[in-house]
């Protein structure tokens, strides 16, 4: 029983500390968040196209070499 009570106290302490830490976080503004989202989307699109093109090129080369 004491172990359960100790566990509950530790959990309560952890949750209080986590809540306090969240107040200290420097959250991005809406425009910063939007800009970051656009960067991630464009980089993801670019990388997928880049990998797709090179995959197609290598597929053609391997097909040609292997016959």
For the chain, what are the domain ranges? 2-66
Output the DSSP codes for 2-62: HHHHHHHHHHHHHHHHHHHHHHHS-PPPHHHHHHHHHHHHHHHHHHHHHHHHHHHHHHHHH
pLDDT of residue 60: 96
Tokens representing 21? 């830490």
Q: How far is CA 29 from the centre of its chain?
A: 19
Banded model confidence at residue 3, pLDDT cuts 50, 70, 90: confident
Tell which wins on pLDDT, 36 or 6: 36
pLDDT of residue 2: 83
- pTM given for the model: 0.60
Q: Is the per-residue pLDDT at 31 higher than 90?
A: yes
CA pair distance 3, 8, nearest whole angstrom: 9
pLDDT of residue 47: 98
pLDDT of residue 36: 97
């Amino acid at each position: 029983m004491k172990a359960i009570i100790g566990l509950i106290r530790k959990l309560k302490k952890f949750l209080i500390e986590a809540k306090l830490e969240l107040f200290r976080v420097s959250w991005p503004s809406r425009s910063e968040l939007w800009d970051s989202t656009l960067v991630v989307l464009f980089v993801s699109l670019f990388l997928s196209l880049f990998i797709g093109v090179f995959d197609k090129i290598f597929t053609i080369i391997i097909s040609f070499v292997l016959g």
